[in-house]
Every structure is written in C-alpha cells, then in structure tokens.
Amino acid sequence: MTRRAPHAAAITALAVVTALALAGCSASGAPETAPSVAATASGPAVEGSAPTDSPEPEDEPSIAPTCENIIPKSLVDNFTSVGWTSQEDQFRVGATPLDGGIQCKWGDQSIASDRVQIFGWAPIDDSTAAQAVSDLTAAGWKVEKDSDGTYVTENPDWLNGRGVDGYGLTYLFGDGFVKFADTRQSLLLVDSPRAS
C-alpha cells in the first residue's frame, strides 16, 4: 500500500507537468523563444518577450458600407417611416469612382422629386485624396481646412438658393476616408460603416 501512494503521486505530477507543457504551446505549434538583440529592429530585446506572427491590430474591423450603416439608425428609421427608400450608387469624387465606397440618395423613389438627401462614404489613401482635392479645385470647387479635415464644397455661385449657409454638395477628406453629403451640415450625419 505504501508503494502505490508514491506511484500514484508520480502519475499525478506527470499529468500536471504534461498539462502545463501542452498549455504553454503556441497555436501554431512552433515553440516561443525570446528574440535576440539582432532580431529586434526597434531596440534591444526585453527579457521574456516573444515574437508574434499575428498582424498588427486594425483600428476598426472592415465593414462594408451600406446606405443604412453610414448614417444613424434613427435617421434611417425616420426616412423609412415616411416611405423613403435609398438608391445606392458607387461613390465618386467628381467623375472618379472610389472602390469600397457607397453613395446613397434617400427619398421617395416612386416619384420624380428633388426632395432627396444624399450621403456617401469611402475609404481613401492620402495620394488619391490629394489628387481628388486638386481635381475638384481645378473644376471651381472651394476648399476649407479645419481640425476635422479638408472640406471641398461646390462653388456658392452654383447654388441658386440651395444649401445651408452657402454650402451645397460637400466632401470631407479625413484620415483614411472621404464623406459626401448634399450640404456641409449634413456631413455630421455620415460616419464610418457600423456593424448592424
């Protein structure tokens, strides 16, 4: 009897060690090792740090834009409650289409009317944004910059009484995105695509 107790204790200890060893394995099956000083480009290795193969975390998950997820849900509900629907189109800056974006015209699609609201959103890189601003400016659009980004709005002479505070169709170029609305004030309603 006394011989079995040490044998059982040894099996239990072996099981615990095995479980701990298995728990310490990485998901890829490769052992984790601390990087050498030469392996780290940003400076000397910190003791106990290990390299990871996982990509850098993104700021936000990539969600495809829709007419319903680039404006507040409450606004979508208001539009639908009065019978408005959306007409979806590819996002364009002037005549230039942008991949991954959307432009939406909300209104009563059953009748011909100019009583509509337009919203758009698209991802954009810095060089494409700079070229778009340059093209719009060359076509007579006006540029204003502030802490939100670069606003590019149609020439006030073209408005014929439309627009709020002299701003009609307006783009806002921000950090990695461009928004579009039928007035500058309406840009406040446009946001990055949200999860449903």
pLDDT tens figures, 47-83: 343 444 444 444 555 899 999 999 999 999 999 999 9
* Structural domains of the chain, count: 2
Type of residue found at 181: A
131 lies in the same domain as 180? yes
Q: Look at residue 42 and tell me if it is in a domain.
A: yes
Q: Are residues 152 and 123 in the same domain?
A: yes
Residues 125 and 34 in one domain: no
- Residue 165 Ramachandran class (φ > 0 left, ψ -120 to 50 alpha, else beta): left
CB environment 53-88: b (16+ within 10 A), e (fewer): eeeeeeeeeeeebbbbbbbeeeebeebeeeebebee
Same domain for 144 and 182, yes or no, is yes
Domain assignment present for residue 196? The answer is no
pLDDT, tens digit, for every residue of 105-162? 999 988 877 789 999 999 999 999 999 999 999 999 999 999 999 999 998 887 765 6
Q: Do 140 and 171 have their domain in common?
A: yes
Classify residue 62: in a domain, yes or no. no
Is 47 in the same domain as 97?
no
CB burial of 122-139 (b: ≥16 within 10 Å; e: otherwise) equals: bbbeeebbeebbeebeee
The two structure tokens encoding residue 177:
């995105």
Helix or strand run (H / E) with residue 109: none
Residues 82 and 168 in one domain: yes
Interatomic CA distance for residues 183 and 189, integer angstroms: 11
Q: In terms of residue numbers, what domain contains 50?
A: 1-54
| Domain co-membership, 94 together with 159 | yes
Look at residue 55 in the predicted model and tell me its pLDDT.
45
Same domain? For 99 and 40 the reply is: no
> Is 61 within a domain?
no
Q: Tell me: do 77 and 162 sit in the same domain.
A: yes
* Distance of alpha carbon 143 from alpha carbon 155, whole angstroms: 10
Task: Say whether both 83 and 176 belong to one domain.
Answer: yes
In what helix (H) or strand (E) does residue 74 lie, and over which residues does it extend? helix 73-81
Burial class (CB in 10 A: 0-12, 13-18, 19+), 153: buried
Give dist(CA 32, CA 15) in Å, integer.
Answer: 22
Model confidence, pTM: 0.66
Q: Answer whether residue 195 is part of any domain.
A: no
Task: Give yes or no: residues 42 and 80 share one domain.
Answer: no
Helix (H) or strand (E) holding 32: none
